[in-house]
Amino acid sequence: MARGPLAIPPEIRSRLKRLRLRTRSDLGTGGFGLHPSRNKGAGLEFAAYRAYEPGDEPRRIDWKLFARSDKFFVREAEQESPVSVWILIDASASMGQADRARPDWSRLDAAKLMALCIAELAQQQGDRFGWMSLQEAALSLAEPRSGRAQMDRLQIDFARLVAAGTFPDAATLAPLWERIGAHDLVLFLSDCFDERGIALIERLAKAGREVLCVQMLTVEERDFPFDGGYRFLDPESGEALIGDGKALRDSFFARFAAARAALAERLDAAGIRHATHVLDEPVDLPLRAFFGRGGAAE
């Protein structure tokens, strides 16, 4: 792709400084020091050695071991934070939809930027973060880590990510269950139009993971600004519907609102906190709703 690396706009970056990634357990009784952490990272208690990867901080290289073995090893200690953040990005073809008014800003672009914001938040507080892009063909996946290198990997991965295909089926999703730990925080960025995606996060929530869901909507889905004859194409199923924008508007508003209300009810029932992002809104708005002061929507 010819596009440069994603960058968080300065005004969003300044607003991010006021947010902290918090899990539900943080808000409640999960006091400091109650459970010993089993997670690896930069800390005091030694956990393991692992081979150096480009991007690791040089200060974390064990120089004595380098003197003995002539290889770079990184000391990993147990991390204070128990939380690793998983970002699940829906990369099916419907996520590639953009508004006609702004054709270079698709749902997927907004989701990438939002993921970058989440990674930035995790990075700021030393949490580990990983991501999966959910696509028909393959599930691309990055183990949760912290550090600059993880950030760079995220940029490279996202630069290659193009929306295509449909939502992956259960078989493709199988590795997901092995990776996401019991107390991990899962952020699901999707248009939530696919039943399989909703089923996935419902299962995750039932399995004890904390799931946050952001529904990405285009401006056209919110405002339906069509006036005149249109051929509406579903990018995933390839179905088409020819109709007059004005005539379709009212029924679409009613049916779409009902569908969204039903979705909200389902997610609430599953204990999934959810927010909606429309493409013309600032990308950090759902994050403020999740992690802002008091943890409630503004």
Partner 1 sequence: MTPLLLAPLGLAALAALALPLVIHLRRRTEEVPVDFAALRWLEAMPRPRRKLQLDELLLLALRLLLVALLALLLARPAVLGWEDDGARVLVAPGVDAAAAREAAGPEAELRWIAPSFPELAAGAPAPATATASLIRQFDAELPEGAPLTIIVPPVLDGVDAGRLRLTREVTWRIVAGEGQADRPGPPASPALAVRHADKQAQALRYFRAAASAWSDTPRFDAATGSALPPRDSVLVWLTPGPVPQAVGDWIGAGGTALLGDTAQIAMPASSAALWRDAAGNALVEGGPMGAGRVLRFTRPLVPAAMPELLDPSFAATLRDLVSPAAPPPGRVSAAAHAPTDGAAPFPLPPRELAPWLGVLIALAFLAERLLATRRRRFAP
Taking the complex as a whole, the smallest distance from the CB of residue 243 to partner 1 amounts, in Å, to: 5
Q: What angle do CA 204, 208, 210 make, to 5 degrees?
A: 75
- Shorter beta-carbon distance to partner 1: residue 171 or 242: 242
Taking the complex as a whole, the smallest distance from the CB of residue 248 to partner 1 amounts, in Å, to: 5
Question: HEC profile for the chain?
Answer: CCCCCCCCCHHHHHHHCCCCCCCHHHHCCCCCCCCCCCCEEEEEEEEEEEECCCCCCHHHECHHHHHHHCCCEEEEEECCCCCEEEEEEECCHHHHCEECCEEEEEHHHHHHHHHHHHHHHHHHCCCEEEEEEECCCCEEEEEEECCHHHHHHHHHHHHHCCCCCCCCCHHHHHHHHHHCCCCCEEEEEECCCCHHHHHHHHHHHHCCCEEEEEEEECHHHHHCCCCCEEEEECCCCCCEEEEEHHHHHHHHHHHHHHHHHHHHHHHHHCCCEEEEEECCCCCCHHHHHHHCHHHCCC
- Shorter beta-carbon distance to partner 1: residue 233 or 297: 233
- Shorter beta-carbon distance to partner 1: residue 8 or 217: 217
Taking the complex as a whole, the smallest distance from the CB of residue 164 to partner 1 amounts, in Å, to: 13
Taking the complex as a whole, the smallest distance from the CB of residue 16 to partner 1 amounts, in Å, to: 29
Taking the complex as a whole, the smallest distance from the CB of residue 162 to partner 1 amounts, in Å, to: 15
- Shorter beta-carbon distance to partner 1: residue 105 or 256: 256
Q: Do residues 164 and 136 lie in contact, with contact meaning Cβ atoms separated by under 8 Å?
A: yes
What is the rounded distance in angstroms from the CA atom of residue 87 to the CA atom of residue 231?
Answer: 34
Residues that bind partner 1 (CB under 8 A): 94, 96-98, 100, 191, 193, 220-221, 226, 228-237, 239, 241-244, 246-248, 251-252, 255-256, 259
- Shorter beta-carbon distance to partner 1: residue 220 or 280: 220
Taking the complex as a whole, the smallest distance from the CB of residue 265 to partner 1 amounts, in Å, to: 16
- Shorter beta-carbon distance to partner 1: residue 174 or 247: 247
- Shorter beta-carbon distance to partner 1: residue 91 or 287: 91
Taking the complex as a whole, the smallest distance from the CB of residue 171 to partner 1 amounts, in Å, to: 24
